[in-house]
Amino acid sequence: MRSLSSIAGLGLALALPLAAAQTPYTDDATYAGLGGKDGIKRIVDTFIPLVLADARIKDSFDDFDMVQVGARLREQFCEFAGGPCRYTGQHRDRTMDGVGTVRDMTTVHQDLKITDAMFNALTEDLQIAMERNQVPGRFANKLIAKLAPMRRDIVTERAAQGRPDAGKFLATGGVSQVEGAGGGGITPWALIGGYGTRDSWGANAHYTHLATQDYKLDSYGVAVGIADRLELTLARQRFQGSLAPLNLLDIRQDIVGVKVRVAGDAVYGQDSPMPQVAIGMLYKRNQGVDGLGALGVSNVKQLGAKDDHGYDYYVAATKILFEQSLLLNGTLRATRANQMGLLGFGGDQGDSLRLMPEASVAYLVNRKLVLGAEYRRKPHNLGVDNEKAYYDVFVAWFPSKNFSLTAAYVSLGDITIFNPKRQRGLYLSAQAGF
Ligand code: HEM
């Protein structure tokens, strides 16, 4: 109870600065981090040529006065960053001393038919411009925290299209967790897999390998994200023992997943404490046990499980706090699965759905690199298996939207019961998609 209230307290403490996220920072640390006035000028001077060369958005800038746009952007970034500047474009069609007529963001952009993918493309160009000017990731993230909510004023167009648009921000589809859902390594998050925006779709395939001294676990599968709302996944797990007497052990499990985003937006809602919330279901079917023929065991029911198939239901809440360079996730899962289902469902110690908490915290080092840790509590249904919580620490690298690599140090408790050693090991996962 005490730990729950401290988690709630931490959430509140993190949420409080969000209420004011659209107002400029009150100290000038971000301004200094961007390099002050000269640094911001260099960023904008790098940014504008990138935008004008970006096939996704360059046509929108035809015939506009880019010198004027650049001057306004410098003011705006400087003011948001807590610098000694005043953005002169915030008053609707008002004449201001020395600068002429200025307009607010909605007025400026409303005829441009800007979609989510275009908004994100421009923001990505800004991230690249900051990267090229050696702005540390935590300050770049602080500027993005101010700009992301401007989607409300700037994006006016819904352009439903059959083609994948790869329009989401890098890394915001998460990676594939070990049961195939979009998330971290062991926990499903509320993020929808793939890079399709709400106007499009995306998909990916993953392969994961975890090796410990006692066993190895492989998982591979595909995920499709539709309209940044619905995620469909298919995954297969293969668990193999590597130490006698379980060196021939071979268990396979197939998992079908569906996840729906029901509220919030992890990326654009930077000025709101509301996380992105999704509900999901994983249907798991254990395909049987090989390698224990000598013991006459070929099915998880012979190990004490009540069933060889079952459902997990979960609700996940994910918040990306660009201002703090953090991603926080909490998942609550109702499950009967023993070791994810590898040892079947239900048992002599319990056969009902039990609620298990899972949590992830990650630090967004820069737009391509994320460091994090996860925890997943487990039920204990089988008397013969001392099932324990899973946890990991991970580093995920996103060199592009088509490929990501995750390395983790994982502990899945003691799955192979005849070997009493701690069963920890290295987890490597590759994901390719769009
Ligand atoms: C976070 C996102 C964005 C920010 C912060 C932003 C900011 C600005 C600012 C400060 C101006 C100058 C306003 C003025 O002259 O008074 C401007 C103008 C403009 N922006 Fe954006 N913008 C964003 C997204 C976009 C996107 C996605 C597009 C199109 C792909 C776009 C296209 C334009 C154009 C064409 C102008 C010139 C309009 C004119 O002079 O009438 N902007 N923007």
Smallest CA separation from ligand 1 atom 11, residue: 69
Closest CA to 268 of 3, 63, 18: 18
Q: List pLDDT tens digits, range 281-334.
A: 999 999 999 998 888 899 999 999 999 999 999 999 999 999 999 999 999 999
Which pLDDT value is given to residue 244? Answer: 78
Give dist(CA 338, CA 257) in Å, integer.
Answer: 18
- In order of 95, 234, 248, 408, the CA distances from 209 in angstroms are 62, 17, 18, 10
Q: State in Å: Cα 269 to ligand 1 middle.
A: 20
- pLDDT above 90 for 410: yes
SS3 helix, strand, coil % of the chain, rounded to 5?
25, 35, 40
* Tokens read off for 335: 């499950």
For ligand 1, pick from 60, 108, 267, 268 the residue to mutate: most ligand atoms within 8 Å of CB.
108
pLDDT at 94 over 80: no
Is the CATH number 1.10.490.10 carried by domain 2-154?
yes
Q: Residue 339: what are its φ and ψ, rounded to 5°?
A: 45, 60
Higher per-residue pLDDT: 384 or 333: 333
Percent of the chain topping pLDDT 70: 89
Q: Pick the closest to residue 146 from 51, 228, 46, 268 (CA basis).
A: 268
Which atom of ligand 1 is closest in space to residue 103's alpha carbon?
16
- Ligand 1 atom nearest the C-alpha of 73 is 10
| Three-state secondary structure call for residue 70 | helix
The alpha carbon of 108 and the centre of ligand 1 are apart by a number of angstroms equal to 7
Residue with tokens 């324990």, as numbered in its chain? 388
Amino acid code (one letter) for 229: R
Where along the chain do its domains lie?
A: 2-154, 175-433
Residue closest via CA to ligand 1's atom 31 equals 109
Report the mean per-residue pLDDT for the chain: 90
pLDDT (mean) for 91-102: 53
For ligand 1, atom 41, the nearest C-alpha belongs to 108
pLDDT value for 346: 98
Ligand 1 pocket: which residues have CB below 6 Å? Answer: 57, 60-61, 64, 68-69, 72-73, 76, 89, 102-103, 108-109, 112, 114, 118-119, 122-123, 147, 150, 154
Q: Distance of CA 231 to CAs 278, 366, 373, Å?
A: 10, 26, 23
pLDDT tens digits for 234-262? 999 999 988 777 889 999 999 999 999 99
* 137/162: higher pLDDT: 137
| Domain topology for 175-433 | Porin (2.40.160)
Atom of ligand 1 nearest to the CA of 150: 1
CA 362 distance to own-chain centroid: 9
pLDDT at residue 1 in the model? 38
Q: Which two tokens stand for residue 77?
A: 């970034």
Q: Rounded mean pLDDT of 131-150?
A: 97
Which residue has its alpha carbon closest to ligand 1 atom 1?
Answer: 147
Nearest to 315 by CA among 269, 350, 282, 267: 282
Give the global pTM. 0.91
How far is the centre of ligand 1, averaged over its atoms, from the C-alpha of 320 (Å)? Answer: 25
| φ, ψ dihedrals at 371, nearest 5° | -115, 140
Q: Which range has highest mean pLDDT (62-71, 110-119, 236-245, 407-416)? A: 110-119
84: preceding bond cis by omega (within 30 degrees): no
Tell me how far apart the alpha carbons of residues 367 and 139 are, in angstroms, rounded to a whole number. Answer: 11
Neighbours of 289 (CB within 10 A): 24
Q: Is 49 helix (H, G, I), strand (E, B) or coil?
A: helix
Q: What are the φ and ψ backbone dihedral angles of 295, each rounded to 5 degrees?
A: -95, 0
| Cβ contact 367:374 at 8 Å | no
20 pLDDT higher than 80? no
CB 434 within 8 A of CB 404: no
- Smallest Cα–Cα separation from 235: which of 187, 186, 192, 284? 284
> If we measure between CA atoms, which residue out of 183, 175, 128 comes closest to residue 314?
183
Confidence of residue 105 (pLDDT cuts 50, 70, 90): confident
Instruction: Give the Å distance between the CA of 3 and the centre of ligand 1.
Output: 45
Residue 2 reports pLDDT greater than 70: no
Q: Choose the residue to mutate in 154, 156, 199, 270 for probing ligand 1, maximizing ligand atoms within 8 Å of C-beta.
A: 154
- pLDDT band for 32, please (50, 70, 90 cuts): very high
Q: How far apart are CA 258 and CA 268, in angstroms?
A: 23
Mutate to test the pocket of ligand 1, among 80, 112, 113, 115 (most ligand atoms within 8 A of CB): 112
Q: Report the range of poorest mean pLDDT among 35-44, 289-298, 350-359.
A: 289-298
Q: Is pLDDT above 60 for 91?
A: no
Which pLDDT score is estimated for 13?
43
